[in-house]
Structure 1
Amino acid sequence: MNVKRGSTTFLKIIIFLAGIAVLALCISLPGITIKDARVHPDTAYFLIPFLVCAYGFCIALSVALYHAYKLLTCIEKNNAFSELSLKSLQIIKKCTIAVIFLFLLAIVSLKICAKVTGGDAAPVPLCLLGILATSMITAIVDVLQKPIKNALNI
């Protein structure tokens, strides 16, 4: 399996940039929530589930990005069908399932907040799109795992 080094390097750069974006989000979240708590002090306690979901999402995405980077390193070294790449794919799959759970938790939190405050839960369709995208990634990872498992069993 001969993979051009340029394509894996490009993907590694994309993963690195995504990691920087996740880090920037983690750094800016406290400031955003403090500003929102000052503007809406009566509903400031609803920010706790938001922060749990946001930081959980950031952690799961960071772990998945790290293992995607490891997987690309295995591919560069022509070890795509190895135990290490299979473990990386399994961890990425677990991270996507955790992200789906966090999206569901965010939907429940938004619905409760909307009922209590009398507003609407406008970001719910966005969360549903996130669940769809994440489940597609989970399916792709599952499809990628099957040939690796078969190659390791032979």
Structure 2
Amino acid sequence: MNVGRGSTTFLKVIIFLAGIAVLAFCIWLPVIAVRDAKAHPDTAYFLIPFLVCAYGFCAAFAVSLFQAYKLLTYIEKNKAISELSLKSLTIIKKCAFAVICLLVIGIVSLRVLAAVTVSDDAAGPTSLCLMAILLTSIFAAIVDVLQKPMKNGIHS
């Protein structure tokens, strides 16, 4: 087994484990949401926007993981610079933008919730969402930088 094959296999295992973590989170999420709704019945109506954002985030992240897995498969088959790889990178970038949009919706929901309930302070979760937006933006920029030479290589 050469080094390239071993590193792509390692990355595939990491992607698979991340996919299992996302699946576990999706299964565990309704339990958390119902428990929180019972503990805070005055803000239970924010359960639906929270679940929509959370499941949308998980779906976009899962699609990105699947496309990254496919991209690693293309790399193993020495088809790193191909239309299929370019398509996978495009889908990953679109998923990153979807995650950013869902995080912005989450921030707006948190701020509205903080305005409705006087006792809640949304500064911590808002800052975490902003950090996640920054990281996702960096990731989308890296994918865009990878796409440009690939487009030039394919179309030349």
Structure 2-normalised TM-score? 0.96
Task: Say if 1:93 and 1:138, in contact at 8 Å, map to a contact too.
Answer: yes
Q: Give the CA deviation at 1:48.
A: 1.1
Aligned to 2:151: 149
Q: 2:135 aligns with which of 126, 133, 136?
A: 133
Aligned to 1:55: 55
- Separation in 2, partners of 1:72, 1:147: 18
- Structure 1 position 4 matched with structure 2 position 4: yes
- Separation in 2, partners of 1:6, 1:52: 38
- Separation in 2, partners of 1:124, 1:142: 27
- Separation in 2, partners of 1:111, 1:23: 28
Aligned to 1:19: 19
Task: Say if 1:3 and 1:75, in contact at 8 Å, map to a contact too.
Answer: no
Aligned to 1:78: 78
- Unpaired runs of 5+ residues, structure 2, are none
Aligned to 1:120: 121
Q: Give the CA deviation at 1:144.
A: 0.5
What letter matches 2:135 in structure 1?
A: A
- Structure 1 position 96 matched with structure 2 position 131: no
What letter matches 1:52 in structure 2?
A: V
Task: Say if 1:3 and 1:76, in contact at 8 Å, map to a contact too.
Answer: no
Q: What RMSD, in angstroms, separates the aligned Cα atoms of the two structures?
A: 1.0
Aligned residues: 153
Structure 1-normalised TM-score? 0.97
**Runs of 4+ with deviation above 4 angstroms:** none
